[in-house]
Amino acid sequence: MLPFFVGLWGDMASMTNRKTFLKAILIMMVALIGFGFIGSGVTYAEFIDNTPINGKFNENIANTSTATEKGWLESAGDWISDTFNDVTDWCSETWDSIWTSIKDFSIGVWDYIMENKVLSVIVLTILGILAVIAGILIGIPLLVAGGVGSLAGMGIMGLVSWLSSDNGFMSDGMLKDMIIGGLGGILSAPLGEWIAGSKLATWIASKINISWLQSAFPRIFGGSVAGGADQGIMDFLSSGKFNWKNLLVAMALGGSVVGGGSYVATHLDDVG
């Protein structure tokens, strides 16, 4: 092939137009390169899988789906489950919001009371007196019990705080204890009165064979509940938590005091 091109070059060297000759040579080289490297137009790479792709689409595979449509029963179950979750979430969020509001309000009220102890004691005293008077005039025992409980609670707790601790007379410590005692009494005394007049206390008393205890049991039951409630409220206001041991002791003490008083009252003739 090379001698052929050399001879061709010699024959065409005499041509006057060299540019025309060079163009012809360039065209021939491009044509030869095309035949030599492109050939049939198919090339292969040794590291690639050259399996031909026939281009056919498997319709059976296309028609097969792993997704299944839910039946009406399953859909109804999902709806019920989602609705139940939504309702419970709403109830939980609502309760949290209400409880947070109550807690924040209570904390705010308590902080105000502690910042104005003298005013709080005066207000509790006036409310206690008015409750007793109004309860007597209207004939509402629970109102009378609340007033008496508030006044008694402030008086007893004030004396205990003053005599058994380092708190001075009408000091901040004594005023705080008076407020706690008053709030405990104004809440626990009506509760004890209500329990004493409940059908539950009457029913339990009807099962007792001892005459004086049968008549006194409702008052004993109410006094026990009132004592425990009063102690629980005072513990919570003092320390922020309940002391169950103190509560049980107070319940036993409250019931014993009322029971002892009832026994003495029903046996005065025997003593005389």
Q: Tens of pLDDT along 108-131?
A: 888 899 899 999 999 999 999 999
Instruction: Give residue-wise pLDDT tens across range 156-215.
Output: 999 988 888 788 888 888 999 899 999 988 989 899 889 988 899 889 888 888 888 888
User: Cα separation of 202 and 60, whole Å?
Assistant: 83
The Cα–Cα gap between 177 and 167 comes to 10
Check: CB of residue 192 under 8 Å from CB of residue 225: yes
CA-closest candidate to residue 202, choices 178, 187, 186, 220: 220
How much is the pTM?
A: 0.60
Q: How far apart are CA 138 and CA 144, in angstroms?
A: 10
Q: What is the mean pLDDT of residues 93-103?
A: 88
pLDDT (average), residues 258-262: 77
Contact, 228 vs 234, CB < 8 A? no
Residue type at 149? Answer: G
Looking up tokens 């109410």, which residue turns up? 222
CA-to-CA separations, 128 to 19, 98, 134, in angstroms, rounded = 128, 30, 10
pLDDT band, residue 96 (cuts 50/70/90): confident
Residues 6+ apart with CB under 8 A from 157: 177, 178, 180, 181, 182, 184, 234
Using CA atoms, how far apart are residues 121 and 114, in angstroms rounded to an integer? 10
Residue 257, pLDDT score: 83
Q: If pLDDT is split at 50, 70 and 90, which confidence band does 269 have?
A: low
Q: What is the mean pLDDT of residues 149-162?
A: 90
**DSSP for residue 139:** T
| pLDDT grade for 73, boundaries at 50, 70 and 90 | confident
Contact 251/193 with Cβ under 8 angstroms? no
CA distance 201 to 67: 66
Handedness of CA 229, 233, 234, 236 (dihedral sign): positive
Q: How confident is the model at residue 37 (pLDDT cuts 50, 70, 90)?
A: very low
pLDDT value, residue 168: 84
Confidence at residue 3, expressed as pLDDT on a 0 to 100 scale: 45
- HEC string of 225-272 equals HHHHHHHHHHHHHHHCCCCHHHHHHHHHHHHHHHHHHHHHHHCHHHHC
Query: pLDDT grade, residue 137 (50/70/90)?
Result: very high
Contact 233, 187 (CB under 8 A): yes
Return left, alpha or beta for 56; rule: phi > 0 is left, psi -120 to 50 is alpha, else beta. Answer: beta
Mean pLDDT for all residues in the chain: 77
